[in-house]
Chain A
Amino acid sequence: MKKYTYTEKKDTRSGFGAGLLEAGKKNPEVVALCADLVGSLKMDAFIAAFPERFFQIGIAEANMIGIAAGLTIGGKVPFTGTFANFSTGRVYDQIRQSVAYSDKNVKICASHAGLTLGEDGATHQILEDIGLMKMLPGMTVINPCDYNQTKAATIAIAEHHGPVYLRFGRPVIPVFTDPDQKFEIGKAWMVNEGTDVTIIATGHMVWKAIEAGEKLAEMGIDAEIINIHTIKPLDEEAIQKSVKKTGCVVTCEEHNKFGGLGESVARLLSTELPTPQEFVAVNDSFGESGTPDQLMTKYGLDSINIIEAAQKVIKRAKS
């Protein structure tokens, strides 16, 4: 197992804030919009640098999506910022008609996704957003795994033409990817090469997959770990190549088991390469109040759950 270490923990939303500032410096057409959550989205640095390119919308997310669509018509590259729940479910039809169907170059940037939003509870903890967004034709869906990758992804989507959903989170987590990485949309990152089982993880679950991989190695199981940061378009080649070698797969996501990364992988494999698969995901429920760690444990999203899923799927593949 390749060794991963970290010296600090940071939140992925801060990676977004740093990336937005960089994107703004690189391209004068980049503009930002926020629905009364500037501090939470870490947009302060961009606003300080480019006050005339920032639009405070107020608590009016539908209007924010429409204004962003309109700004693209004048050649702007708008980044909208609010929590994942209000970025997707609340404005689904606005995104569908004014952004996706109209093919507008809007970057929908969503913080506080999933259970790790924590104490605010289920009203704010969306676990359905990946499904909602990936179903929209032409929408790119990205869920990076740490501060550095989120920063790189934010810079990369500014250079990509077309609607993008960028999902990130609230808590501080280990920073373990390269600070100077080049982010390639739709290209999987091989975290660890192995032969016994393929573990595919996105977002906050990638670090947990690394922890699981280390424990599995101690148990004599050689896990291949792949970071799928881009859920759509899916890197089908990387997944098939790995699964051909290992013959079984575990998918890991901080999302409902319905509609997420796991289902995208299952769709691919069922048509191209039928393979036993286990899903580490929320079991079709809403979340609740608690600390991020408590919630990840209660809802089965810890490294132990990945280890158990790997053992189970290896057994299934052999039988």
Chain B
Amino acid sequence: MKHKSINELEDIATQVRRDIVRMVHACQSGHPGGSLGCADFFTALYFEVMNHGTDFTMDGKGEDLFFLSNGHISPVFYSVLARSGYFDISELATFRKLNSRLQGHPTTHEGLPGIRIASGSLGQGMSVAIGAAQAKKLNKDHSTVYVLLGDGELQEGQNWEAIMYAPHNKVDNLIASIDYNGQQIDGPTEKVLSLENLQAKFEAFGWHVISSDGNDMDSIVKALHYAKSLTGKGKPILNLMSTQMGAGVDFMMGSHKWHGVAPNDEQLATALAQLPSTLKDY
């Protein structure tokens, strides 16, 4: 894969953000806040860091794999999959509509290339990623498994079963990232149910923890490359990635209010004015 410059990656992320707000606006439902916050991470992963083809096979042997645990940020996942060649960008217009492969939350059920597990009911993705990583080890496949989790999602107990399991079993081909935006549906995580010191918690469980600025392309690319260099050393890797919900659209930033609300026509126009088209719109 030809390496892309930070500027090129930022341009792609801007187009991904355009896709997100247009998709959510078109069906008047979906989750723009978290999707926008993770646009840079997804772009870095699929356009720069991950070793993956676009001839999709479920088993993904010899390829890096990615799992999305917080499935509600499906708009960013779908946009990046389409933009990186898994399916035609025109299909983004079907998001959340009847008979679409782009369901509200990602699913394998409709056969959309790039999706390997259904997610949406929270807390399950880390376990699935661990299983996929252990299968790679059994298969003597030296590629890497990535997973993204929401921070609020860490309130689900199953995560902590998985977080305990991975270091004990030396699942060191796994890079988990936390979308650390401090927001959830009912308000700031600090008020709803505090996560306290996540770095200390993960380290106490035996993870190698790194941190990054998930809305700074240079920071996130460097962090993911560094994380990759830490694989195979006996510990799973946790990328504690600070993000801003709604990043890139000023009126959606810094609040949980845009977690699951679609913009109206006027708000769409305001948002798109802040996101110049860098690739072709779908």
Contact = CB atoms under 8 A, between A and B. Distances in A.
Chain A interface size range: 20 to 34
Interface stretch (B33-41, B75-83, B128-136): B128-136
A72 B58 CA distance: 9
A55 interface: yes
Interface string A65-77: 1111111111110
Contacts of B58: 73
Nearest to B119: A97
B139 A62 contact: no
Contact of B127 (A63, A73, A75, A96): A63
Given A67-B128, A74-B59, A94 B158 contact: yes
A62 B165 CA distance: 12
A70 B135 contact: yes
B51 interface: no
A304 to B, nearest CB: 45
A270 B118 CA distance: 35
Contacts of A69: 117, 127-128, 131
B121 interface: yes
Chain B interface size range: 35 or more
Nearest to A60: B161
Contact of B124 (A52, A66, A74, A75): A66
A60 B162 CA distance: 8
Interface stretch (A6-14, A98-106, A117-125): A98-106
B120 interface: yes
Interface in A265-300: none
A206 B119 CA distance: 40
A53 B138 contact: yes
B135 A97 contact: no
Nearest to A65: B127
A89 B40 CA distance: 39
B52 interface: no
A70 B108 contact: no
A68 B164 contact: no
Given A63-B127, A101-B107, A73 B161 contact: no
Interface of B: 58-61, 65, 67, 107-109, 116-121, 123-136, 138-139, 141, 157-158, 161-162, 164-165, 169
Given A60-B162, A67-B128, A78-B131, 10 more contacts: A62-B124, A62-B127, A66-B131, A71-B135, A73-B128, A74-B59, A75-B59, A76-B135, A93-B121, A98-B117
